[in-house]
Structure formats: structure tokens, C-alpha cells
Amino acid sequence: MNQSELLEISRKKAEQWLSSDIDPQTREQVEALLKGDEKNLIDSFYTDLEFGTGGLRGIMGAGSNRMNIYTVGMATQGLANYLLKEFAGYKEIKVAIAHDCRNNSRLFAETTARIFTANGIKAYLFESLRPTPELSFAIRHFKCQSGVVITASHNPKEYNGYKVYWDDGGQVISPHDRNIIQEVKAIKKIADIKFKGDNALIIPVGKEFDEIYTDMIHSYSLDPETIKRQSDLKIVYTPIHGTGVELVPMALRKIGFRNVIHVPEQDVTDGNFPTVHSPNPEEPAALAMGLAKAKETNADILMGTDPDADRVGIAVKDTSGEWILLNGNQTGALLMHYLITQWAQKGKLTGNEYIVKTIVTSELLADIARKHGIKVYDVLTGFKYIADIIKQNEGKATFLCGAEESYGYLVGDKVRDKDAVMSCAILAEAAAWARDRKLSFFELLLDIYIEFGYYLESLHSVYKTGVEGAAIIRDMMHTFRNNPPTRVAGTDVTTIHDYLTQTTTRLPSGKTEPITLPKSDVIQYLLADGSKISIRPSGTEPKIKFYFSVKGKLERKEDFQKVTGQLKARIKTIMNDLNIG
């Protein structure tokens, strides 16, 4: 489709909006788009903001391809229509609604509540910003059939999003995701949205629920005596302007920590994220102010959560006293090791426990679990798949922990999404447990490596923007899928997992086995030396991701830097062999 055709489509859509009953501010913005730069008009109207399997996410502004009360309204009306069909026999249909700190999040949350109630659906609406995991917990607590959280997670300030949850507290998966998408697509015009809500059906949820939520987190504390001895553990915490600002310190205090140090500039709730370029705890720059405060106060640990407080980044001091950022796999291993060790020492393991991790998460977590006879489930990337395994095993087996390499963790089954509030509390407890044994948190990690092997992981993303970029990414995936290497970095490829064709191929025999996980555009190569290479296009950004995991032997803590250098060199060789720039 050429530029003039896109412009014509965009003009017609914009004029259709002007002929609808829209608010004066939006009308003014649309009129300005029609009179202004053609590129902005096309970007805003050339297509409809896609309601995908997780909901909506996009740049805020006027237009059918933007996040605003009308695109949010269409999503909500479609979801409401589906709920009314799916739960037609219910006396009462209920939803829970929360939002993060972003600009317009409160407006979108209130709009969502009004539309649900206009359709006769009761809405439990949090009175102000709250973490995403608290929304998941609320769905189960209030016995809701669905839930919505307004958040764009760690995206830049221009973005907002709309995530949908089901009655188990997990994000929607098949078949509900596909069915909801069809209902949303059926909403063709603004007039199809019921905006006039019923205030009697909106139930405000306030601070009293925070007590219930943090009491639940406290129930997962495993070693209160150690916390008493180490209650002065110095914890620097930053919410990076987001929803963890009150709940994380509250949870830490509730389980017994009394030395929580704030980063005042980042305690300010602000959707513009004024102190960071990106509020993503995976990026070192997002934790720079927290690190400065940790150094200034000689803290024991730094914790930083993303805007909706479902992911947490951790920093600790290494053996030379220098502050380092842990990656998601390292934090997950420390959390998993602490939980399982405590369960084992307290005689709580029965042989009917399990953990869940994603296919791109470190095998170190699986090694830790299997040592204690704990079953390991591997799932596709996305915490909704971890939630689904919990749902399948409900009443049959005990869920201990779930983890994904992208800084998301969950302890216990009361929440069904990654939970940084809970993770901060239990990680602090694990750090106190290490300190009680005269170990730093980093030294505990080295002990884990000595026992199980040193896994080093690295994520490399290749960005390819625009239509041409999308074609390049497709071609790259085609090559890796249809012309796979047989040797990488001097080591034989022993196994190829293709999650799109749902086939595992063993080399050199070529013998194949089915993969039972859902289809996903992911390829994995397993090498004879224990290395794992995972390749997948991003579902939300114009890039292709390469996950590298290599394994070495660490016999002494003093050898850590030397072995690290060897493993980094191996990853570099793998990248060169695969022609990854």
C-alpha cells in the first residue's frame, strides 16, 4: 500500500471520528491532525491499535492507532460482550480494575469501570495506583470473572497499555484470548461503546486491601528468627516513580525489616519518569540513582521495581566490595535456592512439589530443583503460561516458585502473575539468611555456582525497524529454522527445538519428537557442552532476540573472574559462528 492510499484511509477514519460523539479535546486533536503533518495523521489512523493476546499497548494520543478512551472503550466493550456470553448463567459478573502511575492511567481505568457497569458488570476499582500483582490477587480474592490493569510495564513514558486477566488471576490464554479478540474486532465504531456507567456497580478498593495483600506475602516468610537477628539489613529500594512506592516498603516492614532506605527523587509518582530515560530495571541506567544511594549508605542490597511492580532488578556487592547488577537468571537462582533449601531443611518437601520456568531461563534453576526431587516445567516466554501450569496443577501438586529471565518471579500460588512486591520481600529474607551465615548475597551465588556449575547467560537483540526490518527478521528466522548449524563454537549441535513446527530434532540421527507446548516462533539449539542458544522475534518491538547460555566449572570463588572471561569468550565465538552482529 503506497503513501497516498494510506493517507486516504487515514483521512476517512479521522473524518469518521469527527462525525462521532467524541469529547471536545479529542475533536480538537483530530482536527489538528487533519490540518497538520500527513505522517502524524497516518501514524494515528492508518490502522486500528491491535488488541492482541495480552490486550493493548501503544502510544497515547488521538486516533484509532493510539491509546485513548475510545480505543480503551472498544477493548472494554468487546471484553464485556464476551464476559456476558461466557458467564451468561451467573447471577453476578464481577471484574477487578487497577492502574499504574502512567499519564492517563486513572482516566483509562475509570473509563473501563464505567463501560463495564454500563453493561451490568460489577467493577472493583482500586482507589489509586496499585501494582499489577495486587490486581491478580484481587481477582481471586473477590471471586471475579476477569480483571484489567492499565499499564505499559517498563515502556517509555509515551506509552500506555491494557492487560486482561481471567478468573484464575492469570493473564488470558487460549481459547479466551482469541475469543476476546474477535469480540473486540466486532466493535466497529465509537457508537457501539456503552459509556454511561452505573456508579452503584463500582466498588472502590482502598488501603484495607493492601493489608490483606501484604499479609498474604508475609505468610510466605520462611525464617522469622533469622530476620529478627538480621532486621537491620540495609535495603535500598526504588520504585522508579511507580506503583511499588508504598507496597514494597510495607511488605518489607511487615516481615520484619526495619532499615529500608529510600531514593526520595524516585519515590515521586510521575508518569513522565523524570529521573530516567526508561523505567526498566533490566537497564543499568534505571538503577543508577539507586546504586548511588546504595554506595552512599553502604547498603547490603539494592532493589528496583518497574512502574507496575511486577519485575525487580537487584544489585549487590561482589567479593571486592564493588557494586554489580545481577541479571534475571542470577536473581531467580538465588530466590529458588533459598526457597528450596528452606523447605528441605524444615522437612516440608513431600515429593509432590514443582517449579516452573520459561524455556529461555537458565537451566541452573532446573538443576537446583531436581537435586531435591522437585519437578520442573518449562513453558513458553510469558508469565501467563506459568499461571496456566499452576491452574492445571491446582489441588494436585504444590507450586513453589516460577521465574523468567526477564526479572519476573513468583512465590506460591495466591498470585498468578510475576510479583515484584513479594519477590522483594523474599529476596530480602534470602539476603538476611546469607548474612546470618557470614556470607554476602554474591558469595551465596558463588556457592551455588560451585555446587551446580557456573551458568553465564547473555541476551543480544538485533533491531530492524520498518517494513523492510520485519522482512529481514522473517528471513533470519527462516534461515535459522531451515538451515541450522551442525557445529557451533567447535561443539556439536545435539538438539534443535522448533516451537513453531512443534518438533524436536536429535542430531546427528535426525530423529524427531513432538513438542507439546503451544506454537511459538522460537528456535533453540542445544550443544554438546551444555550451551543453549534461543532465537525469537520480539512480540512487542521491531527486534529479534538471541539468548545465550553457556556453562563452565567453578571450583573456587577466587576463580570467578577467570571463568567468567572464558565463558564470555565462548559466547562471542558462538555469535561469530552464527553471524550475529
Active site residue ranges = 153
Distance between CA atoms of residues 314 and 448, nearest Å: 17
Grouping H, G, I as helix, E, B as strand and the rest as coil, residue 314 is strand
- Burial tier of 504 (Cβ tally within 10 Å: 0-12, 13-18, 19+): middle
Contact predicate 264/232, CB 8 Å: no
Residue that the C-alpha cell 464481577 belongs to: 94
Residue 557 phi, psi dihedral angles, 5° rounding: -60, -30
Contact predicate 209/138, CB 8 Å: yes
SS3 content of the chain, % helix, strand, coil (to 5): 40, 20, 35
Grouping H, G, I as helix, E, B as strand and the rest as coil, residue 169 is coil
Alpha-carbon Rg for the chain, nearest whole angstrom, is: 24
Going by the DSSP 8-state scheme, the letter that residue 305 receives in this structure is E
Distance between CA atoms of residues 81 and 78, nearest Å: 5
- Residue 140 CA: distances (Å) to CA of 165, 241, 444: 11, 27, 35
Grouping H, G, I as helix, E, B as strand and the rest as coil, residue 550 is strand
